[in-house]
Amino acid sequence: MSQAGSEILIRDYAKRLRLPTVGSRAGSLATEAAQAGHGSLEFLAALLEAEVLQRESNVERARIRAARFPELKELSSFEFSLVPSIDQALVAELARGGWIQRREVVLAVGPPGTGKSHVCTALGVEACRQGRRVRFVTVAELVTELAEAQAQHRLSRLEAQLDRIDLLICDELGFVSLDADQAQLLFILLAHRYTRGALAITTNLEFADWPQVFNGDSRLVAALLDRLTHRCHLLEFQGDSYRFRQSMAARRGGIQPDSDLNGAAARRGGPRSVPAGRPRRPGNPRP
């Protein structure tokens, strides 16, 4: 049988066996193996390796899509030199994922625009690459999701779904203030999560200011922080807003910065009230 005929037959068999990479790469890898003087077993090993690597890559991409990151961030692109308060060695250790297996908590605290979401997203991406299930959600989105599930009598089902997540990342605690019912729903979920899986929270508020978010309920906040800080890695982000630095750099370059970047972080210090319906996410891009 000619080489062309063999390739057609291999593609057909590979399709029936659901081995797409084998079908698409058999010819090219066979040529490379022949040129390198490799035997048939070496060729077969290389072909199967290509199939396995492609499948692993597909699964990794699927996990990252399922995590619902608003945008992908890498630790390699984070400028630690601009946030000297962050322990880079600790972040590197967190990226290895042991804290997720131990069901611990990461609290990223600091002013808007200093990189909290960037670092937590990057930790989430690394967790996906390690085969872990991750969910990224803003606190506003999460509270809305919980309220809708409660209204539709499926709150237990939603909590069970979140229990299957290895790492839950709750972004932007402090950007919206909650009513009493919303505060209770969020407290119950986070307190429940404390024993069920790893949790990362980003917030622009110091712990003493958390009652502003939870409808002024200091006792509820004290009970929540007692749990969250028990096995906690605290990342304190201190420094100027990335967006503010970008705005100033644009001005120095004679470029009119986008109005969304022009001091927006400085105007967003504390929480704002939102109606009980679906909260509107802040529109500013994350650093």
Strand order in the sheet with 198-203: 134-138, 167-173, 198-203, 105-109, 232-236
Please tell me the distance from the alpha carbon of residue 190 to that of residue 206, in angstroms, as a whole number: 18
Nearest partner of 65 among 133, 18, 122, 130, judged by Cα: 133
245 token code pair: 């630095």
Mean pLDDT for the chain overall: 86
pLDDT in tens, 156-193: 999 999 999 999 999 999 999 999 999 999 999 999 89
Q: Give residue 217's pLDDT band: very low, low, confident or very high (50, 70, 90).
A: very high
**Cα dihedral 188→189→194→198 (10° resolution):** -170
pLDDT beyond 80 at 12: yes
Residue percentage of the chain with pLDDT more than 90: 71
Residue 7: CA atoms inside 13 Å, Cβ hemisphere, count?
A: 12
Q: Mean pLDDT, to the nearest integer, of 133-153?
A: 97
Domains and CATH numbers, the chain: 3-64 (no CATH), 77-273 (3.40.50.300)
120 vs 285, more confident: 120
Please tell me the distance from the alpha carbon of residue 277 to that of residue 112, in angstroms, as a whole number: 25
Beta strands in 69-133 (DSSP E): 105-109
Nearest partner of 118 among 279, 229, 242, 266, judged by Cα: 242
Q: Is 170 helix (H, G, I), strand (E, B) or coil?
A: strand
266 token code pair: 């400085």
Q: Is 164 helix (H, G, I), strand (E, B) or coil?
A: coil
pLDDT beyond 70 at 98: yes
108 vs 267, more confident: 108
Check: CB of residue 200 under 8 Å from CB of residue 167.
Answer: yes
